[in-house]
Amino acid sequence: MFERFTTAVRNVVIGAQQEARTSGSAEIDSTDLLVSLIRRQDETAVRLLDGHHLTVEELTEEFDRVKRRGGLTDEEAAALSAVGVDVENVIRSVEASFGKNALAPAGRRKRHIPFSTEAKRTLEQCLKEALSRKHKYIGSEHLLLALLSRQSLAAQALEAKGVTYRGISDQVA
């Protein structure tokens, strides 16, 4: 499958490992793929995401906040708040006892960081997106569609900025 990736998407996949390493993640996940895609400013991705104002800084800040909360998204934190649970207070208490980012998954410092099951499925979905359009290559458009087709933090971040599967699909020939 990797041989079908355009050079741009190969660079995104390779860059995702660096993103995971930088964030201290134990695995490469969809958030790393998305940040890598945005960071690389591939012409196709830029065109498809034009007007949605996605920045690496905003994305990494959001993803770091979710990791700090042990994976709770803003929506989940709001739901807990609605039933009287002050998530930030709980996090402060845990961090006071166990240290900063105590709820965040522990990273590892090995040279190779493996892909999470979620990321592997996203990459497999890239191939399905390309094949369904009879494309012989896997490009940024297929990666975006794959990210949006799965329930993930990356998809939530894209959708929060108005990027939808249908919107990207309508732009892809």
Say what the pLDDT of residue 86 is: 83
Which pTM does this prediction carry?
0.79
Determine the Cα angle at 24 with ends 22 and 27, to 5°: 105
67 band by pLDDT with thresholds 50, 70 and 90: confident
Q: Spell out the domain ranges in the chain.
A: 2-71+107-171
> Is pLDDT at 50 greater than 80 in this prediction?
yes
Looking at the chain, the number of H-run helices and the number of E-run strands are: 10, 0
Write down the mean pLDDT value for the chain: 87
What is the CATH T-level fold of the domain 2-71+107-171, as seen in this structure? Double Clp-N motif (1.10.1780)
> Is pLDDT at 105 greater than 70 in this prediction?
no
